[in-house]
Amino acid sequence: MPRKPVSTRRAAQGAGAVAASLALMAGTAWACPPEPGYPQASSAGKGAEAQSEGRDLGGHSGHYHRGVAKAAAKDDGAVKGVERVGGVPDAKGAISLMFMDYGHGRHKRTIMYATGQFGLKAYDITADPRTPKLVGQLNMPGMWETEDTDFDPKRKIIYLSRDPRAFGGNTSTGESGVYVVDAAKPESLRQITYVKVPAGHTTTCVNDCRYLWTGGPAKANWMPADWGGRPVWVTDVRNPARPKVYKDPIDTGRNDGKTDYTHDIQVDSDGVAWASGRGGVRGYYTEGRHYDPLKHRWRRATAHDPVPYAGGGLDEATTNSSFMHNSYRAVGRTRDQAADPAGGGTASCCSSPRRRSTTAARTTGCSSSPRSRAPTTVRAGVRPRSASSG
């Protein structure tokens, strides 16, 4: 829940309520939930290998079943330092959670939004985070996958990414895009518009939600034969009723020169957008003037023509994931919100970048998305740190 200003927005927009009750997913730990209609491989064997090639074999490409830590394997969902105090059964299968504040002072309230194959649901957690109250919903049965859903806290707009596997589709021929949802009134969620985008696995706000970066999953049959997956397409949402999708993708050639699957974007508190996917993680400036190390000159960075900042990758043979899932860089006011490598107990599918790198990127562990469980409200024994979505 996984950014912003951007890196903390999704995980802690309702600061007071979320500090007291961090919403987590209980159940079997999956990098991402299995696809509808496809059996999930029980190990990183043949099934996982085929998925890494971009096939529709259950779970999205490159994802596979992860081992569950002993402490988390208990039926009661017990985790050290965490106490389960409630749950949301009617949000079974949720893959992303967001927290948005409304009003001020004594009129302030916090709404938790859950997304999944059911669409979008709004829960008021102001009175008691242990017992979220359903106040609104946007029904979209068959939706896929809404992973790491992002939103604009100022304009109260939610952006739901439509994967080509939604509504019975597939990566070869299915339609992908972004639903723009008006969340100004949680009780009356309203679709503003829908825009087709060549990618659709995840979508992320950049430049204060004036633009979206949408990437993944595996390539469509009309895309270049030498691509391994879908890169990032940029959408201008300054006018949310009339989104404009830029024709040319970015973050291409990410896998040692080969254009491949860009899975997710995280924007750090310095405004650097980190794109994670096959081949590693890359950081980009999206605003201001910066030195472009590839073009060997200073130039202005924009959301649709970013300036490379840093990046790198790992030999996939050395990791337990076929590509980097999502990366978090704790800097500035979020410097104390990253996973603590010295603390132990953190399973990470990301690592600090190698190859020509001008900065070290601290990374989150992969989140545990549910296979078929409902979100569980818990109380953390320590101050919550960052959380990333699957």
> How does residue 127 score in pLDDT terms, banded at 50, 70 and 90?
very high
Domains of the chain, CATH where assigned: 4-380 (2.120.10)
Round to whole Å and give the CA distance between 333 and 384. Answer: 15
Element (H, E) at 10: helix 4-12
Q: Are strands 297-300 and 289-292 parallel, antiparallel or unpaired?
A: antiparallel
pLDDT confidence of residue 61: 42
pLDDT confidence of residue 375: 46
C-beta of residue 291 within 8 angstroms of C-beta of residue 297 = yes
Q: Which of 121, 154, 156 is nearest to 135 (CA)?
A: 121
- Pair of tokens at residue 281: 């993680």
User: At residue 166, what is the residue type?
Assistant: A
Burial 44-69 (b: 16+ CB within 10 A, else e): beebbebbbebbbbbbbbbbbbbeee
- What HEC string does 75-143 produce? CCCCECCEEEEEECHHHCCCCEEEEEEECCHHHCEEEEEEEECCEEEEEECCCCCCCCEEEEEEECCCC
Round to whole Å and give the CA distance between 227 and 219. Answer: 7
pLDDT in tens, 191-208: 999 999 999 999 999 999
Residue 14 reports pLDDT greater than 90: no
pTM: 0.74
pLDDT in tens, 344-357: 433 333 333 333 32
Q: For residue 142, give Cα distances in angstroms to 119, 193, 219, 244.
A: 8, 19, 21, 26
Round to whole Å and give the CA distance between 88 and 105. Answer: 27
Least confident of 33-47, 194-208, 305-319, 331-345: 33-47
Q: Which strands, in side-by-side order, build the sheet including 273-277?
A: 262-267, 273-277, 280-285, 307-312
Round to whole Å and give the CA distance between 315 and 319. Answer: 7
> How does residue 18 score in pLDDT terms, banded at 50, 70 and 90?
very low
Element (H, E) at 46: helix 46-52
Average pLDDT over residues 249-268: 95
Least confident of 62-66, 81-85, 186-190: 62-66
**For residue 96, how many C-alpha atoms fall within 13 Å in the half-sphere facing its CB?**
30
Element (H, E) at 7: helix 4-12
> How does residue 81 score in pLDDT terms, banded at 50, 70 and 90?
confident
pLDDT in tens, 374-390: 444 433 333 323 333 33
Residue 155 reports pLDDT greater than 80: yes
**For residue 38, how many C-alpha atoms fall within 13 Å in the half-sphere facing its CB?**
21
